Amino acid sequence: MPTSSPRVVLAFALCVALLSGSSCARRKKDIPAATTAEPVKAAPAPAPIARAAARDLAGVMAEELQLSDDQQTRVRALLRSTVQQVNDARSQYAADKPALNKELLRINAESEKQLQQVFSAEQYKQYQLKKRSMQAKMQAIRAGGSK
């Protein structure tokens, strides 16, 4: 699976890349372990995904996939729910990365299944083909750029 920044993944909560949250880098065996007298602190939980991310993504999807008004409403609600589930999972499993990744993958699979029910067969095919370009548009929107 490709990896992306947590902001992009969360903004595009449907991407598996975001949901993986782990690095593929291998640790070199010859690197000595760090020694310190200070206790190791857990990394702080990532900032929650803003609900605006769901709205922005729904807008990009509506434009790219030519969604009807009804589809836009359903997609917006689905993405809001997904964002809430991701935020809840990130809070609940902040100290347990494997459990968090498992839960995020479950949320992603459920969201994909629901999107497939909202989209026509052709729209879902286009969605699969355009995920990366929609992700790039989301990054531009979040950075304050143009669509």
CB of 12 closer than 8 Å to CB of 138: yes
- Whether the predicted pLDDT of 100 surpasses 90: yes
- What separation in angstroms does the CA of 39 have from each of 34, 36, 42, 47, 140? 12, 8, 10, 24, 40
Q: What is the pLDDT of residues 28-56, one digit of tens each?
A: 555 555 555 555 555 556 677 777 888 88
- Whether the predicted pLDDT of 147 surpasses 70: no
Calculate what percentage of the chain has a pLDDT beyond 70: 66
Q: What is the pLDDT of residues 82-98, one digit of tens each?
A: 999 999 999 999 999 99
CA distance 111 to 96: 22
- Whether the predicted pLDDT of 132 surpasses 80: yes
CA distance 43 to 53: 24
Check residue 135 and give its pLDDT.
82
- Whether the predicted pLDDT of 19 surpasses 60: no
- Whether the predicted pLDDT of 22 surpasses 70: no
Q: pTM of the full predicted structure?
A: 0.65
- Whether the predicted pLDDT of 24 surpasses 90: no
Give SS3 for 103: helix
